[in-house]
Chains A and B, each alone.
Chain A
Amino acid sequence: MSCIDCGDAVMKEAREIVEKIGSEPEKVIPLLQEIQNRHGYLSQDLVEAVAEVVEIPVSRLYGVATFYSQFRFTPMGKNLVKICKGTACHVGGAEKVYSIITEELGVGEGGTTADGLFTVEAVACLGCCSLAPVVMINDNIYGKISPAKMGKILKEYADGK
């Protein structure tokens, strides 16, 4: 098992990651989380390099990664838009907010805009049910979203907030 396409820089980063997180079997998820924290997604060469450093099959890392919804396998846009689809948001009109966002940005769930500015995700619940419907952009939560308000917020981010 070796990572044929991995350059020295990738191997170096993989070793850094493993040194920081550890290489015990129970560290598989934290290792994947660290890769995603650094790059916004699980890049194939880095996953392969980490597998090589830890000396486990790549398939095991991917087996775990594909089970959990947190992990992404394609690069993420500059801003991550998470649309809450929890019960309270659903009852409060999350579908309307969802259609505004997907219409405005021209991409569906899981998609990234062509200009690389936005990635759209739907999440089950952000736990801010009192403010339904809720949208989270990067680390900021926006509550009581109306379609008009949503358009304004997206524009702010597009203009480089």
Chain B
Amino acid sequence: MENSGRIIVGMGSCGIAAGAKAVYQQLEKADLGIPLGLTSCVGMCFAEPIVEVESLSGRIMYGNVDAAFADKLIESLKTGTENLPAENRIKESSDGKKYLDRQVKIALKNCGVIDPENIDEYIAAGGYDAIKKCIESMKPDEVIETVKESGLRGRGGAGFTTGIKWSFLAGAKGDPKYLVCNADEGDPGAFMDRAVLEGDPHSVIEGMLVAAYSTGASLGYVYCRAEYPLAIKRLIKAIADAEERNLMGDNILGTEFSFHLKVKEGAGAFVCGEETALMASIEGRRGMPALRPPFPAEAGIKGKPTNINNVETYANVPFIIREGPSSFNKYSYGSSVGTKVFALAGKIKRVGLVEVPMGISIREIIEEIGGGSATGNPIKAVQLGGPAGGCIPESLFDTPIDYDSINATGAIMGSGGMVVMDDQTCMVDVARYFLNFTQKESCGKCTFCRIGTKRMLEILTRITDGKGVENDISLLEELAGHIKKTSLCGLGQLAPNPVLTTLKYFRDEYEAHIVDKKCPAGVCKPLITFTVNPENCVGCTACAKACPTKCISGERKEVHFIDPEKCVKCGICRDTCKFDAIDVE
């Protein structure tokens, strides 16, 4: 680093979507004579775009960098790094501090810190030391023992102990042996794996190398969903760079150990997150799940022994090898150890990616790290685990993050999507939303998954349309039981979860829809009407201008009127009104 320092722009997918590219170009055009670099998502999505200024005195991170602030930054940088702006310093702000204080970064250690497209930056941060340590001083079974001792469990959802899984592959007979990284992050509302692949692809590659070394696997695939073009691009570059340094390919680091890794692009099928379906897809077939046993460790890809872990699981491995298992399992709660990455989204103030130690409570994540409600409306529930998971009500927010405690609520840890819902979210609508998703994504193999989910969706749609009938709830419960029992894979077995958890905790909302024909959250269109509250309306005309069907009339500074005949109940007036003058009932 030179005296003049360096400027680093956060260029993850969401940074770019928030305008990071324009900021980068602005800085480039200013031609400050200071090197310009990039990094990926640091997890503070609420503060994107983010620009960091590195100088001898450290790194200063600026959040919410718009064109005007970028100009200000450029002006100050013209005179060196002495007079940098004092505002927008995100890490020093109370928002930033609260967001970061409780987090422990292991899987995300390098995300948003290093340039993911530069292997030297990964190496400088201790990268590839773990695989070197394995090759130079550890026998394969010692590596497996270390991973077992760390207590690491699969981060894809099921939570199987990683070291034990690896020992199955090591003990399996067959050649070649395959390793697969499941990067088919299909849960809507989850973006952890995307962030790791975009921000630190080498950590996943190194984790796979360690697994290959300890299990004897010689071929590997990263199965990544096609919706993540930037992740795929960076992964392919990272593999090529590792090959160039002899960290991948034949005779790695001059030893007998060889491992080849390829990227397979998914083609859009949620069920391919299931391991047997994923392997079928890698082999070029329809992604239909198969009966287990045989498990992949006995007969996986092309009938050969195969081990499958997800992105976050592999990303934890280099740290465990490098720092020792006790540096990982010192964070523990019950049988859950280490950290877990969550994608915090929905109606929450500080949205982003967080990595927290096991045992922290849901409340601490939502209120302390996430800053509570974004809208000021009370938070009602949090959805964990995507379409296979469930909604946990606010009354259970003291539940600790731990596989067993979360399972006890009826939800699942899942891969880490955490979507926060406030009182303007209708839980019946949420259940219908997830059923619509799983119903579409069912591969059709098992009858109850194929047809049962369809019937459940029809009932839920009927309820949200105001046409629910008395025994709909018991019919839903009956169908849910059959689907859970008779489906082959996780998609079907877990599909009823969103309905069952909302029925368990928000039964009153179902009853309000069915019996009173009302939607308490004001979401289900056939059950609501929009009116202007004459006491709050100041006649600002904002709603009338925004209304797409022009059904709001009224003179300036006078109470407005919504024509119920023309109103399409889109809710834009309510979103536009600054005076809380649109009532929904």
A96: which of B14, B17, B570 is its contact (CB, 8 Å)?
B570
Report the minimum CB–CB distance from A144 to chain B (whole Å).
Answer: 8
A87: which of B269, B419, B441, B575 is its contact (CB, 8 Å)?
B419
Per the bound structure, the CA–CA distance linking A85 and B387 in Å amounts to: 13
Q: Is B227 an interface residue (CB 8 A)?
A: yes
Q: Is the CB of A25 within 8 A of B286?
A: no
1/0 contact trace for A54-66 toward B, CB 8 Å?
0000000001100
A129: which of B191, B270, B282, B546 is its contact (CB, 8 Å)?
B191
State whether A32 and B14 are in contact (beta carbons under 8 Å apart), knowing that A147-B546, A148-B546 are contacts in the complex: no
Q: Which of A44-52, A111-119, A131-139 contacts B (4 or more CB under 8 A)?
A: A131-139
Q: Is B125 an interface residue (CB 8 A)?
A: no
Per the bound structure, the CA–CA distance linking A134 and B17 in Å amounts to: 9
Per the bound structure, the CA–CA distance linking A68 and B281 in Å amounts to: 10
Residues in B whose Cβ lies below 8 Å from that of A129: 189-191, 343, 345-346, 351, 417, 419
Q: Is the CB of B287 within 8 A of A67?
A: yes
Q: Is B410 an interface residue (CB 8 A)?
A: no
Q: Kindly report which residue of chain A lies nearest to residue B221, judged by CB atoms.
A: A26
Q: Is the CB of B227 within 8 A of A68?
A: no
Q: Is B397 an interface residue (CB 8 A)?
A: no
Q: Is the CB of A26 within 8 A of B419?
A: no
Residues in A whose Cβ lies below 8 Å from that of B351: 129-130
Report the minimum CB–CB distance from A39 to chain B (whole Å).
Answer: 16
Report the minimum CB–CB distance from A67 to chain B (whole Å).
Answer: 4
Q: Is B229 an interface residue (CB 8 A)?
A: yes
Report the minimum CB–CB distance from A24 to chain B (whole Å).
Answer: 8
Per the bound structure, the CA–CA distance linking A141 and B15 in Å amounts to: 10
Q: Kindly report which residue of chain B lies nearest to residue A90, judged by CB atoms.
A: B433
Q: Is B46 an interface residue (CB 8 A)?
A: yes
B187: which of A67, A99, A125 is its contact (CB, 8 Å)?
A125
Per the bound structure, the CA–CA distance linking A123 and B186 in Å amounts to: 11
Per the bound structure, the CA–CA distance linking A90 and B426 in Å amounts to: 11
Q: Is the CB of B548 within 8 A of A26?
A: no
1/0 contact trace for B167-198 toward A, CB 8 Å?
00000000000000000011111110010000
Within residues 542 to 577 of chain B, which ones have a CB less than 8 A from any CB in chain A?
546, 548, 568, 570-572, 575
Residues in A whose Cβ lies below 8 Å from that of B281: 29
Q: Is the CB of A128 within 8 A of B13?
A: yes
Per the bound structure, the CA–CA distance linking A25 and B280 in Å amounts to: 11
State whether A29 and B346 are in contact (beta carbons under 8 Å apart), knowing that A71-B267, A147-B548 are contacts in the complex: no
Residues in B whose Cβ lies below 8 Å from that of A33: 226, 265, 267
Residues in A whose Cβ lies below 8 Å from that of B346: 87-88, 91-92, 129, 132
Per the bound structure, the CA–CA distance linking A109 and B307 in Å amounts to: 38
Q: Is the CB of A131 within 8 A of B14?
A: yes
Q: Kindly report which residue of chain A lies nearest to residue B383, judged by CB atoms.
A: A87
Q: Is the CB of B267 within 8 A of A96?
A: no
Report the minimum CB–CB distance from B32 to chain A (whole Å).
Answer: 27
Q: Is the CB of A29 within 8 A of B267?
A: yes
Q: Is B268 an interface residue (CB 8 A)?
A: yes
B286: which of A63, A141, A146 is its contact (CB, 8 Å)?
A63
Q: Is B29 an interface residue (CB 8 A)?
A: no
B186: which of A24, A124, A147 is its contact (CB, 8 Å)?
A124
Q: Is A11 an interface residue (CB 8 A)?
A: no
Per the bound structure, the CA–CA distance linking A124 and B430 in Å amounts to: 14
Q: Is B284 an interface residue (CB 8 A)?
A: yes
Per the bound structure, the CA–CA distance linking A129 and B228 in Å amounts to: 13
Q: Is the CB of B190 within 8 A of A68?
A: no
Q: Is A154 an interface residue (CB 8 A)?
A: no
Per the bound structure, the CA–CA distance linking A86 and B433 in Å amounts to: 9
Per the bound structure, the CA–CA distance linking A88 and B430 in Å amounts to: 11
Q: Is the CB of A88 within 8 A of B283?
A: no
Per the bound structure, the CA–CA distance linking A26 and B282 in Å amounts to: 6
State whether A64 and B286 are in contact (beta carbons under 8 Å apart), knowing that A70-B268, A96-B570, A103-B548 are contacts in the complex: yes
Report the minimum CB–CB distance from A63 to chain B (whole Å).
Answer: 6
Per the bound structure, the CA–CA distance linking A93 and B287 in Å amounts to: 32
Q: Is B48 an interface residue (CB 8 A)?
A: yes
A28: which of B188, B284, B571, B575 is its contact (CB, 8 Å)?
B284
State whether A99 and B265 are in contact (beta carbons under 8 Å apart), knowing that A64-B284, A128-B17 are contacts in the complex: no
Report the minimum CB–CB distance from B428 to chain A (whole Å).
Answer: 13
Q: Is the CB of A68 within 8 A of B433?
A: no
On A, residues with C-beta under 8 Å from B are: 24-30, 32-33, 63-64, 67-71, 85-93, 96, 99-100, 103, 123-132, 134, 139, 141-143, 146-148
Known: A87-B419, A125-B190, A146-B575; 12 extra A-B contacts, CB below 8 A, are A25-B284, A30-B265, A63-B286, A87-B188, A87-B434, A93-B571, A96-B570, A124-B441, A126-B13, A130-B191, A130-B345, A148-B546
